[in-house]
Structure 1
Amino acid sequence: MNPEPDAAPQTAQPQTAEERELAALEQEADLLEARAQRRGGLPRLRRALQVQAPVLVALAVVMLLWGRSTPQQATAATPSPPLIGMTDAHLDPPSSSGGPVYAYVTVRNNGGTADKLVGASSPWAGKITVVNGASAAAVPWITVPAHGSVTLKADAQRLALSDLKRVPKLGDTIQLDLNFATSGTVYVFAPVGPVGSLTVLDVVNAMKHMDQLPPE
């Protein structure tokens, strides 16, 4: 009696859900690898990156340099322009010996930028010079600092009125036009006499004859 032939070998089947899932993933991986080989696979992608890499590096360098050269927006606030005002203007009474008449004033600058007093004029005088109080030498300008003040006084810088069209007397009100490099012309009324002797009525009467010599 011949022995029965051996049965055909049976393929082992996965017994658990984890084994079945692992087998499915391995089969999908095989399919993806075969598809990649037909399309050139990873070597083609690697070659593309090798070709494009220098271009990408050059573009990155250009963007970096452009960013460094782009002007940065200013964050600091722009200083405010000069804002000139004047107080305590007055003139010395003229001396019996003649000569120039001296005027004094405190110039205030409430702005954020300095200005320069570069000259002055008046209907009363043919010439006004900014002079040094000690030597009476002419000075080209006086700087009025931002948020600061300058006082023209006898022992410092002051205004000298000469070529007088009329000799001012005690109690007269004199119009002084001070010229500034940035602010232009700013006028003030100054009494002949002590500081603070100017009244509202004096100003009203002087304004009736702005920019001209008032009648005697």
Structure 2
Amino acid sequence: MDPDRQQAEEERELLALEQEAAALEARNRRRGGLPRLRRLLMVQAPVLVALAVVLLLWGRNAPEQAAAAAPSPALIGMTDAHLDPPASSGGPVYAYVTIRNNGGTPDRLVGASSPWAKTISVVSGSSNAGVPWITVPAHGSVTLKAGADRLALSDLNRVPKVGDTIQLDLNFASSGTVYVFAPVGPASSLTVLDVMNAMKHMDRLPPQ
């Protein structure tokens, strides 16, 4: 090969190599402009992944934890229901009962009804002052008794007598209507047979 031509070819190869080296250097500089960000991402990536896993697990468990933490609804039951025998002078007949709430949320007794009376009022004390409601605490009980809060049956559809079994429907703000059977006389005088006979005439007066 002609020496001059060979020298020119070598100069072209050298120039090409220099251009490629310059291009690589420029590309490395552009890449090197983000080293801090890249290192930051590399360092924080495990932390971000762990945080994402925690958030995912929390999101899945949050409804279950909220449900577990939520109090149970009110659960009303009644015992020892009974009525005073009516006074010879007339007037209201008083009913008593122990109301138990086995749930985790308070409830309120807001009224009552019965086939035996047109009106049942919740009254308090010796003054017979009406009260709008009686709160039954969660996991607690309230006893309606003489001289305290109690139920007053008035405008009687039939005057009850000793031995009668009276249906009382107690209305609660959350639990709705809960019924109970109450004897006229001591609470202990109620028998299973009395309840069975009363249930045959639910929501109406039994035959005389």
TM range (shorter): 0.7 to 0.9
User: Cα gap change, 1:95/1:45 in structure 2, threshold over 3 Å: closer, same or farther?
Assistant: same
Q: What value does the CA root-mean-square deviation take over the aligned residues? A: 2.7
| Unpaired stretches in structure 2, ≥5 consecutive residues | 1-19
1:123 equivalent in structure 2: 115
SS in 1 for 2:162: coil
The number of residue pairs the alignment matches comes to: 170
2:82 equivalent in structure 1: 90
Kindly indicate whether the alpha-carbon contact (under 8 Å) linking 1:91 and 1:190 is maintained by their aligned counterparts in 2. yes
Following TM superposition, where does structure 1 have runs of at least 4 consecutive aligned residues deviating by more than 3 angstroms? 35-38
* Structure in which a larger fraction of residues adopt helix: 2
The one-letter amino acid of 2:33's match is R
TM-score (norm 1): 0.71
2:29 equivalent in structure 1: 43
What percentage of residue pairs aligned between the two structures are identical? 72
User: Cα gap change, 1:36/1:167 in structure 2, threshold over 3 Å: closer, same or farther?
Assistant: farther
Q: 1:142 aligns with which of 109, 134, 144?
A: 134
TM-score (norm 2): 0.73
Structure 1 position 209 matched with structure 2 position 195:
no
1:195 equivalent in structure 2: 187
Alignment of 1:53-68 (within 5 A): none
Alignment of 1:167-186 (within 5 A): 167-186=159-178
1:37 CA drift (Å): 5.8
The one-letter amino acid of 2:90's match is G
Measure, in 1, the Cα distance between the counterparts of 2:21 and 2:194.
103
The one-letter amino acid of 2:121's match is T
SS in 1 for 2:189: coil
Measure, in 1, the Cα distance between the counterparts of 2:158 and 2:30.
102
User: Cα gap change, 1:183/1:40 in structure 2, threshold over 3 Å: closer, same or farther?
Assistant: same
| Unpaired stretches in structure 1, ≥5 consecutive residues | 1-34
